[in-house]
């Protein structure tokens, strides 16, 4: 698979990179990290970064305006995006050849080549492995690519904490840190939060009451977000807070946006992508996303989550007997 991708890269003079909407560090890390590798290796090729810019990720990279004509005869590579609807900038279909590189469960094989590895911690880890495979064909990695890929890995593994972190992850990290980018500064950009956000976190913890079965929910209403001057995007960075609380098995963040309430589900045991699938979503077994249209529907989701936690506890009890 990697070989096929490398051959396609060699073949095309124009390469356009895409990733998912509402990007996170792995989306940027894989998209721009790969772009940096390509620019370093093939200075004569045209490499474009497509998609809407995310202000909170400016510290990682800035993107390009891609002219429509660029897509003629272009190779398009979409990173970190499970389904077509979530690809940022729908012109991704306009190229000559399409490659999907991703680590989410593969429900939509929308590429001419689909490289999907659900065992990988992040798409950035996969891009690092693509670079390793391409080294004999002359692939070069520079400091900027190393920083981006490292940021993507750190972002998606919760700083090497989540179970998706494997030997492969540390191997990639070990190689990447050799490029000597400023790790301290990178971590500050990724993890320092404004005081308002820190206080907001305090409020969330105050208001949450986990159930007997270990389900917890956090309701981030427009009103609360406005009171603390926190944008829906800024809430990404602390979805993990449920995980540090004893007795919490799975938790859900409801973030009220313009027209919908976005749902982020996380778990320390019960498989929750089935819950997400029932509410217009999907994702990983321990980290998924969904959408609901009202607070009533949000409560329904909490009940399904509750049942999932109860079942999980029941199974564990039976196992122990």
Q: CB 214 → Mn ion: shortest distance, Å?
A: 26
Nearer to Mn ion, 31 or 235 (CB): 31
**Cα-based distances in Å from 251 to 64, 143, 228, 229, 272:** 37, 37, 22, 23, 9
Q: Which range, of 152-160, 189-197, 210-218, 228-236, touches Mn ion by CB under 5 A?
A: 152-160
Q: Which range, of 4-12, 15-23, 86-94, 148-156, touches Mn ion by CB under 5 A?
A: 148-156
Q: Which range, of 112-120, 123-131, 176-184, 259-267, touches Mn ion by CB under 5 A?
A: 123-131
Nearer to Mn ion, 80 or 234 (CB): 80
Q: Which of residues 35-94 bind Mn ion (CB under 5 A)?
A: 80
Alpha carbon distance 209, 38 (integer Å): 49
Nearer to Mn ion, 45 or 285 (CB): 285
Nearer to Mn ion, 154 or 248 (CB): 154
Q: CB 104 → Mn ion: shortest distance, Å?
A: 7
Q: CB 110 → Mn ion: shortest distance, Å?
A: 17
**Token couple for 114:** 């689909």
Q: Which range, of 67-75, 149-157, 193-201, 283-291, touches Mn ion by CB under 5 A?
A: 149-157
Residue 32 half-sphere exposure toward CB, CA atoms < 13 A: 27
**Which residue number is nearest to Mn ion in terms of Cβ?**
26
Q: CB 205 → Mn ion: shortest distance, Å?
A: 26
Residue 16 half-sphere exposure toward CB, CA atoms < 13 A: 28
Nearer to Mn ion, 80 or 306 (CB): 80
Nearer to Mn ion, 103 or 219 (CB): 103
Q: CB 202 → Mn ion: shortest distance, Å?
A: 29
Alpha carbon distance 287, 56 (integer Å): 22
Q: Judging by DSSP bridges, how do beta strands 113-116 and 250-256 pair with one another?
A: unpaired
Q: Which range, of 118-126, 181-189, 222-230, 243-251, touches Mn ion by CB under 5 A?
A: 118-126
Alpha carbon distance 208, 81 (integer Å): 32
Q: CB 288 → Mn ion: shortest distance, Å?
A: 13
Query: Among 305, 242, 300, which Cα is nearest to 268's?
Result: 242
The dihedral built from the CA positions of residue 197, 202, 204 and 210, taken in this order, carries a sign that is positive
Q: CB 103 → Mn ion: shortest distance, Å?
A: 6
Q: Edge-to-edge, what's the strand order for the sheet holding 113-116?
A: 46-49, 14-18, 74-79, 97-102, 113-116
Residues 6+ apart with CB under 8 A from 123: 26, 27, 29, 30, 79, 80, 101, 102, 103, 152, 156
Nearer to Mn ion, 25 or 242 (CB): 25
Q: Which range, of 4-12, 107-115, 117-125, 231-239, touches Mn ion by CB under 5 A?
A: 117-125
Alpha helices by DSSP H, the chain:
2-11, 25-41, 123-134, 143-156, 167-177, 183-191, 195-207, 222-227, 273-278, 295-320
Is residue 102 within the footprint of Mn ion (CB under 5 A)?
no
Q: CB 84 → Mn ion: shortest distance, Å?
A: 17
Is residue 26 within the footprint of Mn ion (CB under 5 A)?
yes
Nearer to Mn ion, 26 or 256 (CB): 26
Q: Which residues bind Mn ion (CB under 5 A)?
A: 26, 80, 122-123, 156
């Amino acid at each position: 698979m990697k070989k096929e991708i490398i051959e396609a890269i060699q073949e095309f003079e124009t390469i356009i990179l895409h990733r998912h909407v509402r990007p996170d560090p792995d989306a940027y890390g894989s998209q721009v990290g790969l772009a940096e590798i390509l620019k370093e290796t093939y200075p004569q090729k045209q490499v474009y970064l497509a998609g809407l810019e995310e202000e909170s990720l400016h510290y990682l990279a800035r993107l390009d305006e891609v002219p429509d004509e660029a897509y003629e005869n272009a190779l398009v590579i979409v990173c970190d995006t499970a389904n077509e609807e979530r690809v940022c900038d729908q012109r991704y279909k306009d190229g000559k050849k399409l490659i999907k590189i991703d680590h989410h469960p593969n429900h939509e094989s929308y590429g001419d080549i689909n490289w999907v590895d659900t065992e990988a911690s992040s798409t950035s880890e996969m891009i690092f492995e693509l670079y390793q495979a391409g080294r004999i064909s002359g692939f070069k990695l520079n400091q900027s690519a190393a920083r981006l890929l490292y940021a993507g890995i750190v972002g998606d593994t919760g700083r090497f904490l989540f179970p998706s972190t494997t030997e492969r992850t540390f191997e990639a990290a070990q190689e990447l840190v050799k490029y000597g980018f400023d790790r301290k500064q990178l971590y500050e950009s990724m993890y320092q939060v404004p005081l308002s956000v820190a206080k907001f976190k305090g409020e969330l913890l105050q208001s949450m009451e986990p159930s007997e079965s270990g389900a917890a929910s956090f309701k981030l209403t427009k009103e609360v977000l406005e009171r603390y001057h926190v944008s829906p995007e800024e809430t990404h960075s602390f979805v993990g807070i449920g995980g540090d609380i004893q007795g919490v098995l799975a938790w859900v963040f409801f973030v009220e946006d313009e027209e919908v309430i976005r749902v982020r589900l996380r778990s320390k045991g019960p498989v929750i992508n089935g819950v997400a699938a029932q509410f217009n979503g999907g994702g990983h077994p321990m980290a998924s996303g969904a959408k609901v249209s009202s607070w009533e529907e949000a409560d329904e989701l909490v009940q399904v989550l509750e049942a999932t936690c109860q079942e999980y506890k029941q199974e564990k009890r039976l196992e122990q007997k």
